[in-house]
Amino acid sequence: MVFNRIGLFAGILMTMLLADVNAGNIWTDTAYESTSVPMEPVQVAAHSYYVQGPAGTPTDNEGFMSNAGFVVTDEGVVVFDALGTPSLAYLLLSKIREITSRPVVKVVVSHYHADHIYGLQVFKDLGAEIIAPAGASDYLNSPTAKGRLQQRRESLFPWVDEKTRLIMPDRYIDEPYYFQLGGVDFLVQPLGSTHSEGDQTLFVKQDHVLYVGDLIFEGRIPFVAGAQPEQWMAHLEKLDATSIEHIVPGHGPASNDPRKALAFTLEYLHFVHDNMANAVENLVPFDEAYATLDWSRYEKMPAAQANRMNAYYVYLGLEAASVGE
C-alpha cells in the first residue's frame, strides 16, 4: 500500500515535470542552473535544425559559443553536439521539446572540445547513445580533459560546476557508420585527427544536410591549436559537395553553398600554415615571422586573439617536423 502511494506520487511528480518541460517552463526542480542566453532553433531542411552560438570567448554568453544541431524523425531525435554547459544543453532540450516529444535517441559528437561537450550529461541521463569519433579517447584519457573541466568550473560557474562531468561515449566511430531512424538515413563519417584528436561529420541523406562541426568556422577566427592543419586542409579540399545542399558549421551560420562555406577556413589555414612553413624553412624566428606578416584581414575578427597562438602552434609543429627529418 505504502509502495503504491509512493509510486502514485512519483508518477504524478514525473507527469508534472514532463508537463513543465513540454510547456517550456523547464527550470523547476532541475539540477541545472538556469541560463538567460537567447537560443532559437533554425530549420535548415525538413528534419534538420541547429542553434547558433554567438561569436565570443569561451566564457562570454554563459558559455554559448558553439553550434548544436538536431534532426527530428517520427521515431526520435538525433542531436549533433551538446554545447558548452549542461544548462545550455537543457535549454536546447526544451527547444527540441517545443517541436517534438519524441525521445533523443543518439548524440553524435563532432569532437571533444570543451565548447561542444559539457552538455552531454543531459542527453546521456535521458538514455541517449553517445557516439564519438575515434581519437576522442586520447583526449578523454589525457590530463588536459580533467584540467579543462576544472578550469571551466571556475570560469563558467555556476553553469559548469562540481556536478558537471565528462561523459564517456557509448561508441567510437573509426569507419563510416550508417543508421536509420524514423525513415531518415544518417551517415557518420570519421575524419581522423583534423581539427582535434578525432573529428567526425553527420550527413542527413533525405535533407542533404551536412553537420561538419569545427571543420568550418564562419565569422570568427578558427581555433587551430591541437589540430593537424595539413589533414584539415586536405579534408576541406576534397569535401564532396555534390549531394550537400546545406552545411552547418561548428561556429557561425549555416550555408546553402558548401564551397563558399569552407572557403574562409581553408584560406585562413593556408595563410597560417604556408607562411609559417616558409619561416621555418628559412630559419626565421617566430616573433619576426609573425610580426612581418600582414594580418589585416584577420586582426579585427571575433576571436582574433587566437591568431598568435594558432600561428605559434603551427610554427612549432613544422619546426619539430623539420628537425626530425
The stretch among 10-18, 27-35, 108-116, 145-153 that binds Zn ion (CB under 5 A) is 108-116
Please name which of 145, 118, 124 lies closest in space to residue 62, comparing C-alpha atoms. 118
Please name which of 11, 188, 179, 183 lies closest in space to residue 111, comparing C-alpha atoms. 188
Closer residue to Zn ion (CB): 61 or 66: 66
Strand partners, 246: 209
Closer residue to Zn ion (CB): 198 or 250: 250
The stretch among 93-101, 114-122, 177-185, 202-210 that binds Zn ion (CB under 5 A) is 114-122
Q: Which residues within the stretch 250-269 sit at the binding site for Zn ion (CB under 5 A)?
A: 250
Cα–Cα distance measured from residue 80 to residue 84, given in angstroms and rounded to the nearest whole number = 13
Q: How many residues bind Zn ion (CB under 5 A)?
A: 4
Give me the least distance between CB of 45 and Zn ion, in Å please.
23
Give the per-residue contact string, 136-155, with Zn ion (x = CB under 5 A; - = no). --------------------
Strand partners, 70: 49, 79
Give me the least distance between CB of 214 and Zn ion, in Å please.
4
Give me the least distance between CB of 13 and Zn ion, in Å please.
37
Angle at 18 between CA 98 and CA 63, to 5 degrees: 60
Q: Under the criterion CB under 5 A, does residue 214 sit at the interface with Zn ion?
A: yes
Q: What is the dihedral of CA 55, 168, 110, 239, to 10 degrees?
A: 150
Q: Under the criterion CB under 5 A, does residue 115 sit at the interface with Zn ion?
A: yes
Cα–Cα distance measured from residue 264 to residue 138, given in angstroms and rounded to the nearest whole number = 29
Ordered strands of the 199-204 beta sheet = 177-181, 184-192, 199-204, 209-217, 246-251
Give the SS3 label for residue 213: strand
Q: State residue 318 phi and psi, 5-degree precision.
A: -70, -35
Give me the least distance between CB of 136 and Zn ion, in Å please.
14
Give me the least distance between CB of 114 and Zn ion, in Å please.
8
Q: Under the criterion CB under 5 A, does residue 199 sit at the interface with Zn ion?
A: no
User: And the C-alpha cell for 264?
Assistant: 574562409
User: And the C-alpha cell for 179?
Assistant: 543508421
Closer residue to Zn ion (CB): 110 or 275: 110
The stretch among 65-73, 92-100, 258-266, 286-294 that binds Zn ion (CB under 5 A) is 65-73
Give me the least distance between CB of 38 and Zn ion, in Å please.
19
The stretch among 30-38, 60-68, 173-181, 262-270 that binds Zn ion (CB under 5 A) is 60-68
Amino acid at position 196, single letter: S
User: And the C-alpha cell for 323?
Assistant: 628537425
State which of residues 48, 66, 201, 255 lies at the interface with Zn ion (CB under 5 A). Answer: 66
Closer residue to Zn ion (CB): 70 or 290: 70
Q: Under the criterion CB under 5 A, does residue 218 sit at the interface with Zn ion?
A: no
The residue ranges that bind Zn ion (CB under 5 A) are: 66, 115, 214, 250
